[in-house]
Amino acid sequence: MDSNCLNNGRANTCPYRSYYPSGREERWGSGETRRPDQKRRMPSCSMEKPECPELSCRRTEEKQMTENRCGREEKRMAENRCGRESRSKDDSCCMGKSGQERDMEEFALAMGYVPWQSYGRTFELCKGLEVGTIFPELCKPFCGKRGGCR
Partner 1 sequence: MSSQNQPCRKELLCRINEVSFAIDDLQLFLDTHPCDQRALDDTHMLVEERKKLLETYAKNFGPLTIDSTADSGSDSWTWATQPWPWEIAEEKGRCQ
Binding site for partner 1 (CB under 8 A): 33, 117, 119, 122, 125-126, 128-129, 133-135
Closer CB to partner 1, 3 or 38, in the complex? 38
Closer CB to partner 1, 7 or 117, in the complex? 117
Number of other residues whose CB lies within 10 A of the CB of residue 121: 8
| H helix runs in 2-139, sequence order | 3-12, 56-67, 74-81, 87-94, 99-103, 125-131
In the bound complex, what is the minimum distance in angstroms from residue 132's beta carbon to partner 1? 8
In the bound complex, what is the minimum distance in angstroms from residue 112's beta carbon to partner 1? 15
113 vs 130: CA distance, rounded Å: 28
Closer CB to partner 1, 21 or 31, in the complex? 31
